[in-house]
Chains A and B, each alone.
Chain A
Amino acid sequence: MSEVKNEFIVNNEELRKKLSEVGKNKRKVDGDKIARGRAQYVDDIRIPVDKLYHAKIMHSPHAHAIIKKIDASKALKLPGVVGVFSHENVPRVPYTTAGQNYPEPSPYDTVMFDSKVRYVGDRVCAVVADTPETAAHALELIKVEYETLPAILDMREAIGNKTIIHDERDATGIFDKDKNIAAHVKASMGDPEKGFKEADLVFENEYSVQYVQAAPVEPHIAITYYDENERLVIYCSTQVPFHSRRIVANVLGIPVQKVRVIKPRTGGSFGVKQEILIEDACAMLTHLTKKAVRLEYTRKEEFNSSRTRHPQIITIKSGFKKDGTIVALSMKLLANTGAYGSHALTVQCNTGSKALCLYNTPNVNFEATIVYTNLPVAGALRGYGGPQGYFALDSHFEECAKKMKMDSIELRRKNQVKVGEELSLTKALGEGREGFMQILRTCGMQQCLDKVLKDLDYYNKKKQYDESNKKSHIKRGVGLALAMHGSGIPGVDMGAASIKMNDDGSFNLLCGATDLGTGSDTILSQIAAEVLKIPTSKIIIYSSDTDMTPFDVGAYASSTTYISGVAIAKAAAQCRDQILKTASHLLGEKIEDLYCEDSAVHSKKSKKSVSYKDVALHTLYKEDQYQIIGTGSHITYDCPPPFSAQGCEVEVDTETGVIKLIKYSAAVDCGLAVNPVMAEGQIEGGVHMGLGYALCEEMKFDSKGVMLNPNFLDYKMLSTIDMPEMKTHIIETYEPTGPFGAKSVSEIPVDCPAPAVANAIEHACGVRIYDLPITAEKLLNALTNKK
């Protein structure tokens, strides 16, 4: 743990009250243009070249096959076709599509076009043509001969299977390719064996979670071209422009200097755009043809060939003393990474480091085995392993309490990690390497829990329904779940920004942090404005463009507010100090006697003041001219967890198995909310996503690995009218290492809904469902078996 060195501390109510820009519901800086349809997304970009060409990818129809021959002769004769590209004419460079820090902790098991396909939806070849229609037509004319291979479609059959999915020689970083194990991790604290021996009661359960997708409204899209300086420009919908630049340059074999990645407005991403999914191919096609190329996935391609949440089978074992004190906890995961190991190790590490730190257990054991299958590729997705782990953990805790005849809320309160305690596994489970031991500084969990209990009238309802449920086949239940998450990746995530002052006292804020629709452009502007003591409207933010903005790892791991936010505050502080220096000269007073407020510098002594505008005009035009400009970088070894308690009331019809959501309550301790309304939006969106995970979302496959529901007709996400009445609460704490006390809010909300719903269902009808999603069919079946 580093010493707290942050001059932007808000650690009490008094300081909180002095804030004028941060902690306020400022309008979204891009809200107006988005609402009016004027925002520029990748597809709206008009590039300065004569002609834009279009690429289409051919995807594998087989789960596992060797490409024997690609006959593109007919396609190449089609007027308008520029070229057909495959393993035959594209250089072979192993890499990972995971847009992570260098060196990426994911195996280099992917090449742009391989002579082998490993899942239905894998890349076979690409066409570049003058129109999207010609490109699609050309694909139909290409004849591909395959030699099909046996496929592994069940993660339980991967280890020791005769079929080896990654038998290529040039892949590196795979844990054990002969056993189809992409990654493996083991970690423990204390002495788990002894802990279980000394426990009075030991419980064990197995849980499993399904394949789901993030399904952002805007699919993956890229436009690439060579500019007049022979530099490759990539417009793409990405969370990680700088990782994208580095990885694409590597795959193309050109210097990073030759690549510029620009992220315009983004229509949602949720983790699946932390992936170098299509801009690598688009860039390569531009590189090989020297044409400007556009490549966009259809919804069907998104479902088949994008990224998913890792399916897992989770075994949890816990040991308690008779009084309910937890003394040992073990979690074993088998996870399915699909055909490639993108984020294989790190997502599963996160399942352990998040879920297993919530309850303070002296003896902890964690083991994850992540296997390859011939199914779609898993990757980063909001929560990053958390939703899987918490579904198992919170379901398990509820069951343990029931078996011990204890109040499950009290059991949680008793064992939950407290301020001042170490988060046991954070050192052992870092970002694919050893991490940094975290000590909890702030925690609003008990207050979160109180809010949710009150909203649901939990204890009264619990008693009331226990009675009323005996009389009817329509039964009600209440259930709760708790979670903690992280804020950035300690020691890894770095954000940087620069700010310069203009003639009129406005400021350009350039930052690498990427707004994906999350609102980070707004809250980062608020942070800069707070430091500079100006209205947020005086900030002109630009993000992100690898030529123009300082480096930032990108938007993932709930890092933007907590990490990039401090970088921006530092840059703003440098500007402020320069302003004070010039003002001191202009006013003829000492800096110590000056302070900034309302876009001006004031003197405490003489009560004189000078406006920012006059300071700017002076520095730019009058005397000893210079540019007021500040830069800031931020890295931290802290990772303060946000906390959430969530609960719901459900209605179960035991004749049909139909589950109705009646009421939902979510409370989150995200530190200080920089923009409370937007933070609430994150919470509500996360809950919506989590409820779909709990009840209906599932990618289904036939016996050959073909996805059966690659469209929104058959892949069901909850619609707005499926959402219950919802109460959202922000519990403010003041995290000393965050900007103005902020932690993070974007991922934590998605961790709780599945276990909260499962627990409420169990209360309603006495049936515990161990595998998601909890469909009517599954529940009715379980109810029938119980009888």
Chain B
Amino acid sequence: MLRNFKVLMPASLNEALYVINNIDRPFRFLAGGTDVLVRLKDNPSYAQALIDISKIGELAKIEEHKSTFVIGSGVRHEALLAYAPFIENYNGLIEAVSAIGSPQIRALATVGGNIGNASPAGDSIGPLMAFDAEVELRSQDTNRIVKLEDFFTGPGKTVLKHNEIITKIILPKSDSLKSGWKRLGQRRAVAISKVSVTLALGFAKHSNGSDRVNDVRIALGAVAPTVIRARKAEKFLLENQTLTKAVVKEACRLVAKEARPITDIRSNTEYRSEMCGVLLGDLIEKLACAR
């Protein structure tokens, strides 16, 4: 039960920044509310105030710049899924976001919320991290850009300071990358991922005329305290350039070793590790064939 609880509804970003700079109690942001309200219901001491930033229009825009897309943190998943350039070039992101919750949840939940929630199973984070996205964090007096990979420090933990808001997600343009995303869940919808893998590959022509890999990004979800990049497997694939059966097999083995999953009610350590390899194998096959 909520006692002595406050809900604040700033009308602009500046007002919001002022509010969080001066508030004297533990608070949470309310953007889509799909997580925060569930948690509050379960645990009334989760927060003593909600700061409703869902009405701040300046956070809800997607803009195209010369070399980046800038996604406002308040952009809802549904809006992201409808944005044509993403549909065209960010298949992995689209696949991941389409799998979040249900249509009802995607109509409310925001990109900033999925990031700020900092769940290792947050489905949009993997592809964003694979595309080397950055986040803009603002306070009343400061404005800093942090790589998404450096943003998370643990489950539910980030570098966000108490007086900062995630304002933007900066997504580099990457027309040359082919990407895909796969996950395993307990069922097909409204299920938290047991394990997810994002793969983005860039290809170029080899001197001998065959295809070679010239860019590899792999992100793993739900298998470590935060979403992680699988740097060893990335490096291995990049060095080998050609996706032979043996190379793919070794990459899958490496990625399974890079995962550091736990056993919980959704799955177990062994399964999650092994599945990182299986899903990566599937994705490589899919992206290599799709060319």
Contact = CB atoms under 8 A, between A and B. Distances in A.
Contacts of A714: 265-266
B186 interface: yes
B188 A696 contact: no
B104 to A, nearest CB: 12
A187 B145 CA distance: 75
A118 to B, nearest CB: 24
Interface in A124-140: 132-133, 136-137
A722 interface: yes
Interface string B192-213: 1000000000000000000000
Contact of B265 (A137, A658, A709): A709
Nearest to B272: A777
B1 A136 contact: yes
B90 to A, nearest CB: 24
B275 A656 contact: yes
A657 B267 CA distance: 12
B290 interface: no
B191 A721 contact: no
A655 B266 CA distance: 18
A718 B187 contact: yes
A777 B192 contact: no
B230 to A, nearest CB: 18
Contacts of B275: 656
B174 to A, nearest CB: 29
Given A718-B187, A719-B188, A719-B189, A777 B268 contact: yes
A656 B192 CA distance: 17
Nearest to A700: B265
Interface in B273-291: 274-275, 278-279, 281
Contacts of B278: 655-656
Contact of B3 (A137, A657, A776, A780): A137
A133 B1 contact: yes
A719 B190 CA distance: 8
B83 interface: no
Contacts of B38: 713
Contacts of B192: 713
Interface string A299-327: 01000000000000000000000000000
A777 B1 CA distance: 38
A659 to B, nearest CB: 11
A696 B268 CA distance: 15
Contact of A721 (B3, B184, B188, B274): B188
A656 B190 CA distance: 20
Interface in A45-86: none
Contacts of B187: 696, 716, 718-719, 722
A782 to B, nearest CB: 12
Contacts of A781: 271
Given A718-B187, A719-B188, A719-B190, A708 B265 contact: yes
B239 interface: no
Given A136-B1, A655-B278, A716 B268 contact: no
A777 B184 CA distance: 11
Interface in B234-291: 265-268, 271, 274-275, 278-279, 281
A711 interface: yes
B42 interface: yes
B44 to A, nearest CB: 9
Contacts of A775: 186
Contact of B186 (A137, A655, A657, A716): A716
Contacts of B266: 714
Q: Which interface class (under 10, 10 to 19, 20 to 34, 35 or more) fits A?
A: 20 to 34
A708 B265 CA distance: 7
Interface in B35-81: 38, 42
Interface residues of B, number: 22
Contacts of A780: 271, 274
A656 B188 contact: no
Interface string A703-728: 00000110101101011011000000
Contacts of A718: 187
A658 B187 CA distance: 10
A351 B189 CA distance: 34
Contacts of A708: 265
Interface in B141-163: none
Interface in B13-40: 38
Contacts of A711: 42
Contact of A776 (B265, B271, B279): B271
A719 B186 CA distance: 11
A651 to B, nearest CB: 13
Contacts of B268: 777
Nearest to B195: A656
A716 B42 contact: no
Contacts of B184: 656, 658, 776
A725 to B, nearest CB: 14
A707 to B, nearest CB: 10
A657 B278 CA distance: 11
Interface string A654-681: 0111100000000000000000000000
A46 to B, nearest CB: 24
Contacts of A132: 1
B186 A721 contact: no
Interface in B175-189: 184, 186-189
Contacts of A696: 186-187
A308 B281 CA distance: 41
Contacts of A700: 265
A141 to B, nearest CB: 12
A716 B191 contact: yes
Most buried by A among B1, B189, B192: B1
A777 B265 contact: no
Given A656-B278, A713-B38, A714-B265, A721 B189 contact: yes
A658 B42 CA distance: 31
A659 B188 CA distance: 11
A775 B279 CA distance: 18
Contact of B1 (A137, A722, A776): A137
A716 B267 CA distance: 13
Nearest to B185: A716
Interface in B124-148: none
A777 B188 contact: no
Given A696-B187, A700-B265, A719-B190, A777 B3 contact: no
A716 B188 CA distance: 11
A721 B102 CA distance: 11
A210 to B, nearest CB: 13
Contacts of A722: 187-189
Contacts of B188: 719, 721-722
Contacts of B190: 719
B100 to A, nearest CB: 14
Interface string A363-392: 000000000000000000000000000000
A777 B189 contact: no
Given A137-B1, A137-B3, A656-B275, A777 B186 contact: no
Interface in A771-787: 775-777, 780-781
Contacts of B42: 300, 711
Most buried by A among B187, B268, B274, B281: B187
A753 to B, nearest CB: 15
Contacts of A716: 186-187, 191
A106 to B, nearest CB: 31
Nearest to B102: A719
16 contacts: A132-B1, A136-B1, A137-B1, A655-B278, A655-B281, A656-B275, A657-B271, A719-B187, A719-B188, A722-B188, A775-B186, A777-B268, A777-B271, A780-B271, A780-B274, A781-B271
Q: Which 3 A-B pairs have the closest CB atoms?
A: A136-B1, A716-B186, A777-B271
Interface of B: 1, 3, 38, 42, 184, 186-192, 265-268, 271, 274-275, 278-279, 281
Given A696-B187, A700-B265, 9 more contacts: A133-B3, A656-B278, A708-B265, A709-B265, A713-B38, A719-B188, A775-B186, A777-B268, A777-B271
